[in-house]
């Protein structure tokens, strides 16, 4: 395994600073979403009755089992709807309409939608994806940790 991924996972455990990398790990069966340290601190301060430390915030919100994204078709809809409705505060109609549109975008990984902080990040990713130029997407780094194939 790549040493970079071990360092990345260690940083998640330590909650040190900003984590601007999305790691999708088949080995761990988890997605480690990017976050800003200031966001974790804010959530922790707002919900001290729910969380005892910063690590609990990270584990609860920013580390997601891949099982949640098993059905990509519905996951794209759900993640887009949640982004639009709860992060962007759009109307029910706008959220539903855009979710339906992205639901059929088979080359879009729903975990990436979940990792986007806002609609601007998602639109930038969609533009880069459409232009086949993902190296221009600079909101966060994306790492896929894929298990080796058995032969």
pLDDT in tens, 125-141: 999 999 999 999 999 99
Neighbours of 22 (CB within 10 A): 22
- Give 104's contacts (C-beta < 8 A, 6+ positions apart): 73
What is the pLDDT at residue 7? 47
CA distance 42 to 5: 27
What is the pLDDT at residue 19? 92
CA distance 144 to 32: 11
CA distances from 48 to 41, 42, 57 (A): 10, 10, 10
pTM reported for the whole predicted model: 0.86
At residue 9 the predicted structure's pLDDT band, cuts being 50, 70 and 90, is low
The 10s digit of each residue's pLDDT in 19-61 is: 999 999 999 999 999 999 999 999 999 998 999 999 999 999 9
Position 1 pLDDT exceeds 50: no
Beta pairing class for 63-65 and 30-32: antiparallel
What is the pLDDT at residue 10? 52
The 10s digit of each residue's pLDDT in 81-111 is: 999 999 999 999 999 999 999 999 999 999 9
What is the pLDDT at residue 147? 80
Buried b (16+ CB within 10 A) or exposed e, 38-59: eebeebbeeeeeebeebebbbe
What is the pLDDT at residue 12? 54
């Amino acid at each position: 395994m790549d040493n970079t991924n071990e360092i990345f996972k260690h940083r998640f455990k330590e909650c040190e600073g900003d984590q601007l990398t999305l790691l999708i790990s088949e080995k761990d069966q988890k997605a480690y979403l990017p976050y800003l340290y200031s966001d974790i601190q804010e959530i922790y301060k707002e919900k001290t009755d729910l969380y005892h430390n910063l690590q609990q915030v990270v584990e609860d919100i920013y580390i997601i089992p891949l099982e949640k994204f098993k059905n990509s078709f519905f996951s794209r809809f759900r993640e887009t709807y949640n982004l639009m409705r709860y992060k962007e505060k759009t109307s029910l109609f706008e959220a539903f309409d855009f979710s339906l549109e992205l639901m059929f975008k088979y080359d879009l990984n729903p975990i990436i939608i979940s990792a986007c902080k806002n609609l601007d990040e998602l639109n930038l990713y969609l533009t880069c994806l459409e232009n086949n130029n993902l190296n221009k997407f600079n909101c966060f780094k994306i790492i896929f940790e894929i298990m080796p194939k058995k032969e």
